A and B are shown apart, each in its own frame.
Chain A
């Protein structure tokens, strides 16, 4: 058994000229809660769909639970649970019928667990699916995913439409899920505050490419954020230092600790005012902003 639950090996997926994913190489450690973060259209859902065999990569390979998705799609699906806001159970009529249908495919289905989850999420068997709100439909999808003994949980925007109570309930259930041996969760969400507390690993993708990845604590520790004052018309080009925001002569800088030390900012043009605590959301915004700036990692600083 390898240490990785999921291995994306140089996968690429092209959709004409409009969008292409990859090349993406990513490893999700077994037993981790892995957050896949990215702006809208970054390719997160495409990657997750390919992971579940819903589309084939143009190039590269995907290993899930030590199996190749091309050859062992069914076995992988048996051991993996998937939740997406696009999963539509309305065709089954009632919640009970949807549960009965899905249950038939999984020998490891736990009826007691299913009932417990229905109670916890407030989803009732007799309710018609089309009478459920969007959030309640997500809860149904979560009940169906968590009612069995899956090794891997793939969650695409699971908090979409959920209120604060349901979100807290969800994370409690996910933590309960993680108490099992060798369980892994891959979660894609825009709720970065939740992810920062919940996940232990993260990867940030943008325009189909991986920007950074690693353990959550090391990822946040690697970068530092400073408020500084700079002389007007200063054009700085220090690799590993990025301007996140500028208001007159005040700037907010992001420093990549792996590339440059904080001493590199000891320059006559820059006066460091304070080090600002960095959250995952700050880091995400800074990295995406930097990546999207046409001039590259170090943007040209002109007067604001």
Chain B
């Protein structure tokens, strides 16, 4: 700590500036927090009347030389002055307000960057099969479960050919291939005429109703109808759940 190479400092703030203007001049040449210290530096003997470049309207000293500055610093020569220095006297934006503004702007920019980062994780375009697809003409389907759309769209189309089957009679419905237990894809076992999930053994009838294993509820059905050209149209964005009584919805079954 004993830095004896440093030129000896003028002890104490002995040079008392005659006006507040000189204090401001000294303060402008030093870090603003070291105003009292700067007054002790050899830079102090500059001409008191020297025109100080005004710092972008931060002070009002031009209109009232010495007035506001002197008022803000009643004892400029006090070594341990606790009042703010002359630069901090603007009525428009004092240091505290400026810091508040700066921190506010910084926080807002950070929050915006964070929000943008979060939004970045949700792409605008998905490379996934569409929710809605044409599934061919009704006469291309035979009786029972059809697996042709399972791989691409995750849908089984089931045809009921018998008019007398309750509750709808003959027609089509579309089952999601998502097990209601934990979301695996069941297999259709044609020999046993049931869906069987390989993950935990849930079993479903071809209606989609669960009858074995841990599945808590039947498979969901998707909206099914006819498009303008007579093809079956499946819309996966609308779901129909048996336990909510939605299978009786006309969109859940295609009469044919």
A and B: interacting chains? no
Please give the residue numbers on chain B whose beta carbons come within 8 Å of chain A beta carbons, in ascending order: none
